[in-house]
């Protein structure tokens, strides 16, 4: 079931919220976790009921195993539990990929059956691995089975995140005062949900319509040309931005309807000045998970080995190139490689992860070098800020080409087109000027109709890039009211220049938000819903 579907908007959500209100009116708040768990399981199995036993079996296995780990603290048992979870993920997500590559290497003519990927398997697998690790480490005390089921299945975050941590969720589920209608939460929750719905159906989906034909042409070896390649790449960058941002807003808004605060997962990442800053803003809960459960353990293990071998360890403010490679570059690349593979089964996702690992390594090396010279980590000079944001955005767009392409060959064709190696042809309207036509002829640039490009697409790209880079995000706009868990929105330029938060209640603003919300709802219920992009991961 999709948040932007008529079944969800007109049936599931109203009935689930009505049940929540009824239990409160009957003073049965203790049954709210059970009600929300049942609703979440229905939400999950709506698309494919056959996947429900898989989810239930995974939860039972990990809950029981966590109890054993709390008693025995066995490393072997923990390792077995982590491997079992990864095997489950691997069987469904990577069997086809591994078999195809083995068949290619060996020349075997295997008939590889198509495996339907269960929804949310990547997300609930990561959450439960974290739960097992923390159970082994003695960091779990709350063991209510219903609360655990709700922690894994809570429908606002189940399908595409945020990846929640047991410590921040189970404490809320154990607090009966949470499960009562708070109309300030409801008001803000509905506002966030409708903002997210607007981003999805009004902004993201049309960009997807523009991007898809370009990537399809690249997949068929069409030699996508310069203007079309950049139109496709930038359209996909904006589609992914507003699609994922919209889902994150909707998830947090839905949580607030039921008194539950979910962690922030998206914080204007295209405003990032470097790739380190980007990953602190993009899929923030995935970054948090990878840092805590992948990167840090790798660094600790490598540091311990170096200490045992009596190799030099990093000193405050100083790090030799060898130490930097061993304790920063290797863990960073390995972590981002895992991130890339987690996102999808394909060599294009491996390259996506390795690219970001390379980006992060270069960024950390730059910071280390500047620290050695006693230079400030970053400059706030306007030209430096603009240049840094644009360079970071360019790197992200290049990596996203692999993220979106059907395979590596299609991604490389797109990149060749973006570099002008497939030819540069300007769209027909440029030919109206004799000067432009003459200059294009001298430079060897053609002017002809481009079947995958329209002027309106370019205008929309420029308009929404301006929105992305200049407008405050929803959490900056709603500063001062409860939104995401422990949200601390950065000050927007509006706030810095005016000295006050962006959001101010008014009749005009209420009418504007109401009209945009009505438009979003009508579009959502009047057409077949499109999946959120992160549903496929």
DSSP class per residue in 159-170: TT-----HHHHH
Please indicate, yes or no, if residue 391 is contained in any of the structural domains.
no
| pLDDT given at position 208 | 95
- Structural domain that includes position 155: 6-181
Nearest to 136 by CA among 214, 82, 57: 82
| pLDDT given at position 505 | 67
| pLDDT given at position 313 | 67
| pLDDT given at position 302 | 86
Token output for 341: 């593979």
CB 200 within 8 A of CB 247: yes
Q: Looking at the whole model, is its pTM more than 0.85?
A: yes
Cβ neighbours around 339 below 10 Å, total: 21
| pLDDT given at position 255 | 96
Please indicate, yes or no, if residue 94 is contained in any of the structural domains.
yes
Q: How far apart are CA 84 and CA 82, in angstroms?
A: 5
Three-state secondary structure along 125-153? Answer: HHHHHHHHHHHHCCCCCCCCHHHHHHHHH
Please indicate, yes or no, if residue 169 is contained in any of the structural domains.
yes
| pLDDT given at position 310 | 75
| pLDDT given at position 102 | 83
Token output for 529: 């819903």
Token output for 338: 């895992």
Please indicate, yes or no, if residue 523 is contained in any of the structural domains.
no
Domains identified in the chain, total number:
1
User: What 3-state DSSP class applies to 309?
Assistant: coil
pLDDT, averaged per 10 consecutive residues of the chain (537 residues), comes to 91 96 91 96 90 94 95 93 94 85 77 76 92 93 91 92 91 88 90 94 95 94 89 97 96 96 95 96 95 93 82 66 85 96 92 97 90 75 92 98 95 95 80 71 77 87 95 87 84 62 70 84 87 79
Bridge partners for 282 per DSSP: 266
| pLDDT given at position 498 | 54
Please indicate, yes or no, if residue 250 is contained in any of the structural domains.
no
Q: How far apart are CA 537 and CA 123, in angstroms?
A: 8
| Residue for token pair 């000295």 | 499
Please indicate, yes or no, if residue 43 is contained in any of the structural domains.
yes
| pLDDT given at position 11 | 94
Residues recognised as catalytic:
343
CB 503 within 8 A of CB 212: no
Burial, 278: exposed, middle or buried (Cβ in 10 Å; 0-12, 13-18, 19+)?
buried
Residues 6+ apart with CB under 8 A from 86: 125, 129
Please indicate, yes or no, if residue 55 is contained in any of the structural domains.
yes
User: What 3-state DSSP class applies to 181?
Assistant: coil
Please indicate, yes or no, if residue 408 is contained in any of the structural domains.
no
């Amino acid at each position: 079931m999709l948040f932007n579907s008529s079944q969800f908007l007109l049936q599931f959500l109203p009935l689930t919220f009505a049940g929540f209100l009824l239990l409160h009116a009957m003073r049965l708040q203790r049954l709210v976790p059970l009600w929300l768990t049942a609703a979440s399981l229905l939400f999950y199995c709506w698309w494919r009921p056959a996947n429900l036993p898989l989810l239930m079996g995974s939860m039972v296995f990990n809950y029981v195993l966590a109890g054993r780990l709390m008693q025995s603290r066995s490393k072997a048992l923990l390792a077995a539990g982590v491997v079992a979870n990864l095997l489950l993920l691997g069987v469904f997500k990577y069997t086809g990929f591994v078999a195809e590559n083995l068949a290619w290497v060996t020349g075997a003519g295997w008939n590889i059956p198509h495996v339907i990927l269960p929804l949310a398997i990547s997300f609930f697998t990561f959450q439960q691995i974290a739960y097992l690790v923390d159970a082994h480490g003695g960091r779990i005390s709350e063991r209510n089975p219903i609360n655990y089921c709700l922690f894994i299945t809570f429908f606002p975050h189940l399908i595409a995140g945020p990846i929640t941590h047991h410590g921040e969720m189970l404490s809320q589920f154990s607090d009966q005062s949470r499960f009562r209608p708070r109309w300030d939460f409801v008001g803000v929750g509905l506002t966030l949900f409708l903002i997210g719905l607007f981003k999805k159906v009004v902004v993201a989906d049309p960009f997807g319509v523009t991007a898809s034909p370009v990537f399809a042409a690249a997949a068929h070896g069409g030699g996508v040309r310069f203007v079309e390649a950049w139109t496709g790449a930038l359209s996909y960058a904006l589609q992914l931005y507003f699609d994922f941002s919209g889902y994150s807003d909707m998830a947090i808004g839905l949580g607030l309807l039921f008194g539950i605060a979910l962690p922030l997962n998206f914080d204007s990442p295209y405003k990032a000045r470097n790739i380190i800053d980007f990953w602190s803003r993009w899929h923030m809960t995935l970054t948090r998970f990878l840092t805590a459960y992948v990167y840090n353990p790798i660094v600790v293990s490598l540091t311990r080995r170096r200490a045992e071998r009596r190799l030099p360890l990093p000193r405050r403010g100083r790090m030799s190139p060898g130490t930097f490679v061993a304790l920063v570059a290797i863990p960073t690349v390995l972590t981002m490689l895992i991130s890339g593979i987690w996102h999808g089964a394909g060599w294009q996702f491996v390259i996506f992860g390795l690219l970001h690992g390379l980006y992060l390594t270069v960024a950390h090396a730059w910071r280390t070098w500047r620290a050695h010279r006693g230079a400030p980590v970053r400059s706030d000079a306007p030209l430096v800020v603009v240049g840094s944001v644009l360079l970071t955005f360019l790197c992200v767009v290049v990596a996203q080409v692999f993220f979106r392409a059907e395979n590596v060959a299609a991604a490389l064709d797109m990149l060749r087109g973006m570099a002008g190696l497939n030819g540069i042809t300007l769209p027909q309207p440029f030919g109206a000027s004799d000067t432009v036509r003459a200059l294009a002829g001298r430079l060897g640039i053609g002017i002809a109709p481009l079947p995958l490009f329209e002027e309106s697409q370019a205008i929309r790209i420029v308009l929404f890039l301006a929105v992305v880079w200049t407008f405050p995000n929803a959490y900056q706009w709603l500063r001062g009211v409860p939104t995401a868990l422990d949200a601390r929105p950065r000050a927007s330029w509006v706030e810095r220049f005016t000295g006050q938060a962006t959001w101010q209640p008014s009749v005009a603003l209420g009418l504007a938000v109401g009209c945009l919300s009505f438009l979003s709802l009508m579009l959502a219920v009047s057409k077949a819903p499109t999946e959120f992009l992160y549903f496929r991961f």
